[in-house]
Structure 1
Amino acid sequence: MLITVPDRPRPGPRLAFRGWRARRPFWGGLLLALGGGEILLTEKASLKVVLHIGMQGLAGYLLPTLMVLLGLLILFNPSQRLFYSITGILLSLGSWLTSNLGGFFIGLLLGAVGSCLAFGWLPDQEPRVSRRKRRERERAEAHALTSEEAGTA
């Protein structure tokens, strides 16, 4: 019985998820959706906890529901992230008036930070190299140049 070993290991679900996550503004969409979910949970809090400030009713449930929807759209349709993130920040700020001070500030902050992260995400960008690694690379290149010059002289 002959067992063949593949040249490289099969990608597992964790590696596949990492690749999927790298191609989209994952943390921005996730934080926006979590912010909307947190605001929805504060709408269901007991009456002793809930602050009745501003408009109540449909808008109090509509804005956080749209925040969750926009967070999911950012995750699954990243090509339209700019529109979704601008709409998400406006909804997050609007939840200040409609939904218990934006879910007691927590949902508002999660939504705002998530929208900003999604807005600032750039596709196909090279990973940043730390200053320390850049300096080490520059020193190695300078050392290689000086050793070449010394060898030719």
Structure 2
Amino acid sequence: MKSPQGDPKDHPITEFEQVLTGTCLCGSIRVTIHDTELFTQRRGNLCHCANCRKVSGSFVAANLVIEEEKVEIQDSAGTLKTYEDHDTLSGNPVYRSFCSVDGNPIKSVASQSPDKVILKMGIFPRIPAPEMESFVMHRHPWEADFEGTVKYKLARGGEKLEE
């Protein structure tokens, strides 16, 4: 088994042709994505909103919006907890789930994406290239441009940023 601090390139994409599995830092929560097309095209979403930045602990959150039926979450020690975030653009809550032992963000569920789950990609050994960015108007001035992404001024699916 490779070190959890390992290089993502140590994991060839072919390793994930059927499933991609990741865990929280302590290992009590295991998330498996069943999607044979996960790495066949750009799939990820980089979110620059303040709440996602806080949850990720970084300048941008690497997310994957995916159909709920393609995701299996095992919570062996009962550590998955959910925070109901009401400080949202829509005013509708976003349910942000995390490991209550190590604080690792796992997923979010939002009413504007019914039947989908927003997975936090940092728990996986390798992630697909981003296809879009949301809340681009909230990017830091020093951030590099992520070429090839569809850029939404604010919420995903809303008004696009003209380049």
TM-score range, shorter chain: under 0.3
TM-score of the superposition, structure 1-length normalised? 0.25
Q: Which has the higher helix share?
A: 1
Q: Which has the higher strand share?
A: 2
TM-score of the superposition, structure 2-length normalised? 0.24
